[in-house]
Structure 1
Amino acid sequence: RVLLIAGRPGSGRTALAEALVRDLGRGYRDGVLRARLGEPGGDPVPVERAARLLLDDLGVAAPPGADGDELSGLLRDALKERRALLLLDDAADAEQVDSLLPDNPRCLVVAVARGPLTGIPDVRPCTVGGLDARSAVELLERYAGSVRITVDPQAAEALVELCAAQPAALLLAGGWLAARPTASVADLAKRLRALPGEPATTRPLARTFALTYGALPAPAARALRLLSLAPLGLADAQVLSALAGCSVSAAGSLLDGLVDLGFVRAAEHGQYEVPGCLMPLVAQRLAAEDRDSEVQLARARMLERTVRLLQSCRAVTEAEGSAARRRLAGLPRNLRFPHRAAAAEWLRTRQPALLAAARLAVADGELDTLARRLVAALVRALTAHRGAEAAAPELYGLHRLVLDVAERRGLHRERAAALLNLADLDARTGRTRDALARYRAALDAGRLAKDPYATGRAMESVGGAYQELGDWQRAADWYGRALAQRLARDERADQARLYGRLGTVHTYAGRYGEALRNWRAAAAGCRRLGDGAGHARALSEAARVQEYAGRPEESARTCEEAAEGARRAGDVRLHAALRLRLADTLERLGDPVAARLHRAAADRLLAPRPGAPAPVCPDGSAGHDTPTDATKVAYEIRSGSQKS
């Protein structure tokens, strides 16, 4: 069920696992799924995040805000009928692996960990200590050349022993030799022995790192230290340029040099990665050699560069000539994207690191202004390129980060906006009671901020949550409170929408008199706004209420008025739906001839035009037999920064 490769970081355990997966992967028709269960700093990755990554690889949509147990269950369900191979790298403990194990015996898990996974049944372990002597010498030869190894094989074997045959230590030693063609293998072994501390009591990787790091030029050593600040240990020339305060071309040269020396390895999509086994050693050097103020300044430069890249990534989606495009033209060339496709690809490949950057910025606690700007820019970029629905899981996590900062800083307006956004996503995924609690909290925050938009939006949303729960009395009460505020502020479009919502809940509750009054008020509000289609839809709902109330003649007259309004507004689908409903009403009134005429008119309206698809009756329009909120419109929740 589980093949475990256990070993210390730097022992080659991940490379062995990858080689095994490449060999076994051909036998699994649904492919290989990969998840890293450890952060570069050593912290375990939450099960929720790992499960969501695996579900994304499977193409399974996971609801935003779902917890680890729910996502683990979704993952097991998704793998129930599949034959897949899972590679779980850098697992912290058995519980972390167990939560991701599929129930399907046709799936195989290859796990990489430091030690045994006690408690998981059917685990076959393999402990890795390092390379055999011959392979270790061959690895050195690849860097140092065959001549230096051939002339002094004993020195090569001694160097392998000093490195404990660990691939990571041998790569650093090989990089040191490659950079010094005149140095002998014996010279490097002598230098390693001369380091302070007994070789038997000091980790071979730490000793080799200390020697090779000490030989780095100052700019390269500083660049390596600063790379420990890169989210997920991933960086490109832009990231290092911001961290080190140098040009992008100079940063690229530094990265290539560090790759040659074995400190950094090339990753996918033009990125570079500090190996996880070296990250703690690099972070120790940063803490020891750089002042806190310099580290914070480097982190701030990196976040600011990321914000500008995200703004450029979003701006490229705007229309030519827009204000965002004009600002984009004023940015340096290396911060601009040539077209939308390039920006979308950059966002896709950098998304894990960008999300990690947002989490780290919020956790830092000292760069909250930059953290808020970064989250806002990331939300806008994801929405522009992927859409709010597709990016909902990522947006949920980002809104929670905003909420953390707002609560820490006492920013009531931002707290209200984050709560509203989170509650909307909860409501969309069926967690209505969770959404209701957050809407109420947003109302309190909006009142503390004295923000009428947030309070009105929260009251209306509380009413919507109660409506979803079927509590018509409370829904009407909260809609009424929101309407009173809109009336006091003379916000007419919002008034029309709320009259429609009140009409809907009163209809569901069977209070047809109240429902009819509110739909009439909604129709009047739309007429004053010049919204012909909204006026016709409100009248159509009023006609529906009259029909429910047993007044078919009045319903027919109102429906006729609504149909005429839809015709004047040019809403063909609504006009056709109203004609069909009018035909049904006339049939019940005993006038089949008039009913046939209205049906024929509807057929003509719905007939496909040459070169155009056939129109259909819209969902939730007058063609349905259930009351709907006809004047409801879609809108975004505005944060304080957006309002200003």
Structure 2
Amino acid sequence: LQQLYQDILNADAASAAAGRAGQVAGAGQPGEPGRAGGAPGGPPGPVPPPPPAPAQLPADIPDFTGRAGQVDELCGLLSAAGEQGSPGAVPVVLVMGSGGLGKTTLAVHAAHLLAERFADGQLYASLLGATEPVDPGEILARFLRDLGMDGAQIPVEPEERAAQYRTRLAGKQMLVVLDDARDAAQVQPLLPGSASCAVLISSRGRLPELAGGRLMDLDVLPQAEARALFERVAGQERVRAEPAATQEVLTACAGLPLAIRIAGARLASRGGWNVRTLAGRLSDERRRLDELRVGNLAVRASFEVSFASLAGAAGADGVAPAHAFRMLGVWIGPSVSLPAAAALLGVGEEAAEEVLEVLVDAHLLDSPEPDRYRFHDLLRVYAADRAQAQESEQDRREAVTRLLTWYLHTTEAAARIISPQHSRVALEPPPDTVHPLDFASLDDALAWCEDERAGLVAATRLAAEYGLHEIAWKLPAAAISFFMRRSHWAEWMTTHQTGLASARVRDDREAEARTLNNLGIALGQQRLDESVSCFEQALALYRELGDTGGEGRAATNVANAYFDLQRFDEALVAAERSLVIQRAAGKRYGEGIALGILGGACRELGRFGEAIQRLQEALVIFRQLEDRDSEADALGDLGDAYLGTDRVADAVTCYQQSLAIRRDIGDLHGQAAALRRLSRARQQAGEAGEARRLLSEALRLFEELGDHAQAVEVRSSLI
């Protein structure tokens, strides 16, 4: 009995010790093994089940369309979790872009495709970075609760929360989706510390401080994907029944997924509309943003979120980003260079670049290449709307005047290099806030003009719209040297028609005469009768004004137009009249041009000896003036005269010299014309193979230049 009693005492002591040990080990860990769950002194309670694996992704949209390449890239990058080589290198991908591009939609869609890859779950949080950014500490507290931590045990300090968060995700296969992040500081505490996890972030900003993350810069949808999305939302049969109207709608939406979805939803919900109805409503730029809204979706609201996030004040030497955004909206060209933007904003290039890069980082502006910027089409509409609403008429007008003055003076600087012999546009010195460019070489001048070709057209139109009619006629006059050198006939005619209207609004007879003369040259490429009319009007105005130099130019152009019309007798008479005027005025360049027309007319009339004499005189003048473009013209015409007398070797020499000059000065159209002439000479010399090779090269150049009429002629000669 005594032994039995001792055994019972020993057992009770062991049980008590075990209980105390269990209480110490389990202290502060409710619901975990080692702590009694029942009444004091009673048996332990049941252990609570572990929390379910988080599956927090929002629903995917059923009509997700396009973006196949981006989806594959996202899945590939995020599937590499655990394969980075370092146990702490977490795969992080940032999808960035402006509002309305579908960043969230893409991220959620890709995350659903990846869900099975992350067996321990998916965490999701909207960080509201573009509107009212959520404190990352709040997101951490929520994530910790979702991962099973008792709310009462969540640390107060953000650093401790982040440490607990990383601890609970260690070794787990967890996908974390952080939508609409403001900056790297908001995201950094939410990154796991284990390479078995992966993080997908969306943001309107670039988050440059996010080290090691892969970037996906989202752009608008390509045409085919935009049409497919519109069909899925609005109905395929309905959309395909009106292809032209559908294209107008898609052009108005400019590839922005939000805009396309809204347009399709509006059409789908209005049985009485057809696609043409919608296209008509979207055709007016001033109302377009108001039309692109349905339910709680609106393009304007999406843009306003990004615009509102811009810093309000500028630095001491800078300009406020919001002000810069609005002012850029007054420009109607497809893009703007850094120097042009500096003129528009009235600041130096360094200050302009600083504020423009802020807009790029906010995805309110694109930078397709260094020192060049552009809006998405709908953002441009929004910027213009904000400028109209928030900038004074005086400020807008002053900004436009600075920009167009910069264009005018820079274009004239280029013209002085491209065609030194052409008459100059008289300009007052630019104001101190405008710094036009200078050019060191012909290549530099031509390259700038080519880059700004669309800008020159837009600047001319904008000048007329703002009533800056002097700039509206002078800018095309300055650009004519470039248009002529590169055979840009469409831009030449468009700008000069605008300039002519502005000259007439000003009742500026000299400007009208000059613009008519220049317009006639462009019309001479296709509409010769209209060309003669322009020259005759210009000639009459110059005579009325007593401008002998202008009269000589117009008389020369009348002669040239008659020549192109194959009215060679009239061309001969007009050229002789022009020659008299040019010599009396001492205009050597004009004299050379008149001699060239005389030589060509004599050649066509069979007076070859006189033709060769006149063309040789013209060639001497152009060589004295060092006008290589006109020298090449004279050589080509002289070659034609030699060929007419069967002096093939002399003709070949002239054509080869002309071709060499065209290549040296970068005149592609002139090269193609010289190759045609040289081919004809080789054919006449019996060298059929070489003639065909030269003609094929000419065809290639004409096709590259888009000169379809010449290409058709050459192609028919090759058959």
Structure 1 length normalisation: TM-score?
Answer: 0.45
Bigger radius of gyration among the two? 2
